[in-house]
Amino acid sequence: MYAVTLDGFGEPEVMKWAQVPDLPAPGPGEVVIEVAAAGVNRADLMQRQGFYPPPPGASEILGLEVSGVIAALGPHVRDWHVGDRVCALLSGGGYAERVIAPESQLLPIPEHLDVAAAAALPEVAATVWSNLVMTAGLHSGHLLLIHGGGSGIGTHAIQVARALGARVAVTAGSDAKLELCRELGATVLINYREHDFVTVIHSEYPGVDIILDNMGAAYLERNVEALADDGRLVIIGMQGGVKAELNLGALLAKRGTIHATNLRRRPEHGRGSKAEIITELRRHLWPMISDGTIVPVVSDELPITDVAQAHRLLDSPENFGKVILRVD
């Protein structure tokens, strides 16, 4: 079969579409997916650069989410059939013609949804729901602040929060992106190049109930300042660095909570596992996907042979939403 290989670590040009060994037979509880499309995530860019190795036992091939059709079943798979349209959350291996996935990490593709567009869903859906709802307890009436509102995570989180009755504030680097965030349901729009988000928040509100943060160290102090009493800061990225000084007094005064989470290295089963998250998605989020309340936001769709360009697009300041790779 063919897959994206790495000729060392570095710039996007190290990735090549090349022949690789065929997959082994699927094991118990596993399926083989004939890949229609793969989602591109910032974790892929980091792995390409040598900064984010896959967890033990995972494929070295890039790709944390795919959509396609089940081509083969391993032993003891009973809830899925060959020919089912699915999207899947992976620990790796998605940039390929075929991939093996645990049945516990599959989601059905709603009839109305294009199979390629569904590749934009598993990673953002699992990240947003596990962090905002399962961890931070987002519900109606909360004020949520999303850093990077124009990202794949951000565009999905806006829709989920609005569907649950929360108010949404976002930061983004351009007025054009903020306008698109407004169309998705955000009501407090902050251009971080022109305004301090803490000042803007406190000019209208006592603080925010939940912050979804992709910046890490660079925003830690200001995020704590922006929290309301009993507020929760959820850190899911480190684009602004990994080390910062924390004023525990400020956090204690607000009875604040900080969560730092990672999706890729979660166990397959058990408490806090990928299987647990997928079960919650099917029960609570997937009905909103099925009726069109929440839609995948795709900025660019390219053939997988243009994978280098796809990585450049995702890393571009102009990118809004997800980039997906078609596997023809």
Strand partners, 30: 102
- Structure token pair of residue 3: 């897959």
* Amino acid sitting at position 45: L
Task: Please give the pLDDT value at position 187.
Answer: 98
Mean pLDDT for 306-328 is 96
Mean pLDDT for 214-238 is 97
Q: Give the pLDDT confidence of 257-275 residue by residue, as tens digits.
A: 999 999 999 999 999 999 9
Mean pLDDT for 196-216 is 97
Mean pLDDT for 109-134 is 98
Provide DSSP, 73-111. Answer: E-TT--S--TT-EEEEE-SS--SBSEEEEEGGGEEEPPT
Percent of the chain with pLDDT over 90: 100
Mean pLDDT for 234-249 is 95
Query: pLDDT grade, residue 111 (50/70/90)?
Result: very high
- CA gap 247, 242 in Å, rounded: 16
Query: pLDDT grade, residue 328 (50/70/90)?
Result: confident
Mean pLDDT for 282-304 is 98
Q: Phi, psi (5° rounding) for residue 147? A: -80, 135
Nearest to 201 by CA among 174, 228, 240, 163: 228
The CATH code for residues 124-260 is 3.40.50.720
Query: Are 2-121+296-326 and 124-260 in the same CATH fold?
Result: no
Is the pLDDT at 203 greater than 90, yes or no? yes
Q: How far is CA 30 from the centre of its chain?
A: 23
**Domain residue spans in the chain?**
2-121+296-326, 124-260
Specify whether domain 2-121+296-326 bears CATH 3.90.180.10: yes
Q: Give the pLDDT confidence of 13-70 residue by residue, as tens digits.
A: 999 999 999 999 999 999 999 999 999 999 999 999 999 999 999 999 999 999 999 9
Mean pLDDT for 237-247 is 93
- Structure token pair of residue 132: 């905002």
Is the pLDDT at 96 greater than 90, yes or no? yes
Mean pLDDT for 113-126 is 98
Q: Phi, psi (5° rounding) for residue 97? A: -70, -35
Look over the chain and give the mean of its residue pLDDT values, rounded to a whole number. Answer: 97
